[in-house]
């Protein structure tokens, strides 16, 4: 009896527990359903719920900048400020810090994308670019992944790269469309080498504002939230004139910038009126646009006409003060204080990583600009040079004798910036200089072999040999021509046929080209140069277009070691002849030509050269050489410093990690 009672009690207890559990479950479900019902009702009553694309995670638009040299970043920042001023909430995003898998949650994306080497994306956009490409080609992803996303793209590039122009911007737009995103504006495109980038971007930005305000293309205006959290129908008025007014006021005050970074600096209204579309002025295409002119002028260049320039060299100032001349004084006997540094073409066909002009000059593969008269260029260059020399009057160390000599230039280094040989009237310009008995030292980047062939005799012709292999040259020179290597080799062959003095000019960049001694040696037989100048790269400060640091600058000991090894590879054909320690520069010379009775003759008899040119008869490099002074010879105690000058060493107060 006792057992039966116990069993019954247990059964009742278990049944009660089960009933209570079920009741609790039902109660919880009821509460949840009630909560969910009220929540849904609240959402339906919420103003923002009328937009199916709007969620708490995607209310703010995104601006992505794909940038290597800060050009696109600068433009994106400008667009961001403009949008914020019009009460549109946006986030400025570096793709490096963004997860592409979240892109399908976005409702509005604006992309400002630069194209880098070989039509590839800059480093900060590689991952995002690859993700878009892989997703667009993956059948498992589908073509509606980004169906909620509206987007617009502005591409930044250079038309001189042909079909690679704005390749990245175009690819981003194509991939976004392939994944179902809706393009709210046609692809905007800006050209950094035409001087119209700011104007083009300004027009595109204005269109972005118009589309957002009008809510065009699927009511995109409702996809971005204003400062009060509600929909933005009308923001503050957009005044394009205000944009240019601000830029005009700041244009002169901004720091010197690279050509590729000029994007953030709009032309003034006055300049805009002068320059029409495609960089043309009064119907003719101009090489030096107002923006480029302003940047180069601030760096000390005197712009001549529409494509030439002149600038006073620091070594000219130095020898005017009696403090020593440049390496050309040590190697070839020029008078540095009587040397004019100029160019008839500020344009170049390369964008070298070590460019000491920081790419503030235009680029191009052929002459496509208005052309100035060579006589005007020479006369103007001399006049501008004289003005700069006169400014040295009264400077400590400058004597009346040296100042008067400096006002009569006797040498012209056609190596200021750009590619002088591109100028169609280069021979006429050289003639004008020689008529005034001004010697000519012309440097070419070895991309125009036909121009070398047709070049008249000059005092000394240089070819820049920045790398010894095709891959290294592509990385260092960043040439515009696809057949750059073939052009380089043909230029060396053209050099071989020249009867006057010829030079290979090597710039050593530690970590880039200092290990290629065998490859460099193999180039000697192609051009058979009289001399080989080997110089350590000059560090010119931080540049957005170059990754070089002081770690890439070799010591003079490094340059000497490289030069000695290179001379040894020539099996006696070349020997180390001179050095200029201050410039970290060493000269190799052909032994059979310039070492006579054990003495080097690398200097130039300039008066003899001009007499030979005036005679009109053929002549060679042996006909105007002169004895090299002992202080300039390799290994001399003076290290290439002229003992007649007063050596002055600056006191260094900065820290060095070298």
pLDDT digits (tens, 9 = 90+) for 294-337: 777 877 789 999 889 999 998 999 999 999 999 999 999 999 99
Closest CA to 374 of 418, 319, 414: 414
Q: Name the more confident of 25 and 284.
A: 284
The yes-or-no verdict on residue 268 having pLDDT over 90 is no
Tokens of 600: 């080097």
pLDDT of 598 reads: 96
Distance CA 334, CA 343 (A): 18
CA distance 620 to 601: 14
Beta strands in 317-431 (DSSP E): 339-343, 411-414
Is 353's pLDDT higher than 70? no
Rounded to an integer, what distance in angstroms lies between the CA atom of residue 348 and that of residue 489? 18
Q: What is the mean pLDDT of residues 116-141?
A: 82
More confident residue, 360 or 490: 490
Between 22 and 138, residue with greater pLDDT = 138
Q: What are the C-alpha distances in Å from 655 to residues 323, 402, 609, 652, 658? A: 25, 36, 47, 8, 9
Range with the poorest average pLDDT among 74-83, 506-515, 634-643: 506-515
Round to whole Å and give the CA distance between 69 and 125. Answer: 13
Q: Does residue 449 or residue 256 have the better pLDDT?
A: 449
- Residue 284, SS3? strand
CA distance 145 to 638: 72
Rounded to whole angstroms, how far apart are CA atoms 539 and 555? 12
pLDDT exceeds 50 at position 121 = yes
Distance of CA 473 to the CA centre of its chain: 16
Q: Nearest to residue 639, comparing CAs of 578, 594, 555, 558?
A: 578
Q: Are strands 302-304 and 308-311 parallel, antiparallel or unpaired?
A: antiparallel
Give the whole-angstrom CA distance, residue 125 versus residue 139.
23
pTM check: above 0.75: no
Once rounded to an integer, what is the mean pLDDT over residues 182-189? Answer: 92
Angle at Cα 283 formed by Cα 365 and Cα 345, nearest 5°?
35
pLDDT at 476: 75
Residue 36, H or E segment? helix 2-45
28-55: b (≥16 Cβ within 10 Å) or e: eeeeeeeeeeeeeeeeeeeeeeebebbe
> What would the two tokens of residue 629 be?
């002074």
Structure-token pair, residue 652? 């260094």
Mean pLDDT of the chain: 79
Q: Is the pLDDT of residue 176 over 90?
A: yes
pLDDT value at residue 405: 96
Provide the residue count of the chain: 658
């Amino acid at each position: 009896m006792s057992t039966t009672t116990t069993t019954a009690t247990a059964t009742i207890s278990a049944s009660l527990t089960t009933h209570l559990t079920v009741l609790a479950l039902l109660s919880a479900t009821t509460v949840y359903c009630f909560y969910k019902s009220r929540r849904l009702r609240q959402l339906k009553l919420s103003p923002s719920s009328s937009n199916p694309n709007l969620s708490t995670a995607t209310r703010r638009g995104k601006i992505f900048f794909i940038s290597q040299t800060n050009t696109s970043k600068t433009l994106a920042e400008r667009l961001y400020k403009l949008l914020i001023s019009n009460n549109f909430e946006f986030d400025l995003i570096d793709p490096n810090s963004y997860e592409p898998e979240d892109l399908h949650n976005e409702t509005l994306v604006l992309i400002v994308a630069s194209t880098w080497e070989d039509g590839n994306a800059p480093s900060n956009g590689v991952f995002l670019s690859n993700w878009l490409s892989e997703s667009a080609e993956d059948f498992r992803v589908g073509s509606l992944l980004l169906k909620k996303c509206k987007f617009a793209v502005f591409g930044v590039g250079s038309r001189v790269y042909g079909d690679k122009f704005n390749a990245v911007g175009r690819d981003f737009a194509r991939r976004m469309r392939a994944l179902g995103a809706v393009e709210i504006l046609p692809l905007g495109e800006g050209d950094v080498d035409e001087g119209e980038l700011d104007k083009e971007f300004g027009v595109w930005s204005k269109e972005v504002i118009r589309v957002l305000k009008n809510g065009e293309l699927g009511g995109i205006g409702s996809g971005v939230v204003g400062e009060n959290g509600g929909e933005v129908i009308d923001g503050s008025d957009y005044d394009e004139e205000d944009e240019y007014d601000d830029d005009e006021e700041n244009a002169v005050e901004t720091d010197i910038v690279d050509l590729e970074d000029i994007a953030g600096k709009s032309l003034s209204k006055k300049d805009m009126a002068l320059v029409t579309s495609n960089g043309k002025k009064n119907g003719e295409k101009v090489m030096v646009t107002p923006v480029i002119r302003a940047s180069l002028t601030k760096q000390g260049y005197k712009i001549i006409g529409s494509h030439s320039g002149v600038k006073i060299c620091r070594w000219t100032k130095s020898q005017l003060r009696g403090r020593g001349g440049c390496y050309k004084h040590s190697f070839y006997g020029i008078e540095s204080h009587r040397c004019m540094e100029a160019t008839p073409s500020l344009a170049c066909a390369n964008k070298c990583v070590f460019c000491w002009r920081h790419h503030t000059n235009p680029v191009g593969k052929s002459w496509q600009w208005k052309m100035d008269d060579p006589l005007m260029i020479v006369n103007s260059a001399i006049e501008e040079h004289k003005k700069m020399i006169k400014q040295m009057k009264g400077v400590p160390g400058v004597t009346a004798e040296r100042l008067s000599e400096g006002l009569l230039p006797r040498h012209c280094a056609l190596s200021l910036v750009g590619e002088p040989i591109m100028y169609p009237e280069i021979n006429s310009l050289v003639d004008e200089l020689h008529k005034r008995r001004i010697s000519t030292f012309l440097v070419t980047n070895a991309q125009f072999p036909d121009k070398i062939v047709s070049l008249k005799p000059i005092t000394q012709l240089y070819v820049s040999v920045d790398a010894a292999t095709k891959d290294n040259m592509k990385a260092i020179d960043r040439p515009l021509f696809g057949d750059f290597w073939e052009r380089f080799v043909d230029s060396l062959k053209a050099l071989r046929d020249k009867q006057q003095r010829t030079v290979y000019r090597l710039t050593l960049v530690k970590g880039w080209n200092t290990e290629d001694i065998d490859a460099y040696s193999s180039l000697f037989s192609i051009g058979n140069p009289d001399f080989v100048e080997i110089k350590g790269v000059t560090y010119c400060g931080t540049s957005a277009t170059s990754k070089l640091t002081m770690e890439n600058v070799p010591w003079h000991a490094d340059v000497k070691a490289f030069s000695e090894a290179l001379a040894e590879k020539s099996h006696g054909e070349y020997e180390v002849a001179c050095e200029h320690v201050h410039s970290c520069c060493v000269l190799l010379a052909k032994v059979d030509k310039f070492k006579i009775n054990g003495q080097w003759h690398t200097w130039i008899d300039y008066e003899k050269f001009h007499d030979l040119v005036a005679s009109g008869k053929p002549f060679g490099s042996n006909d105007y050489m002169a004895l090299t002074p002992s202080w300039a010879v390799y290994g001399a105690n003076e290290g290439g410093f002229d003992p007649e000058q007063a050596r002055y060493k600056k006191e260094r107060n900065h820290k060095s990690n070298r």
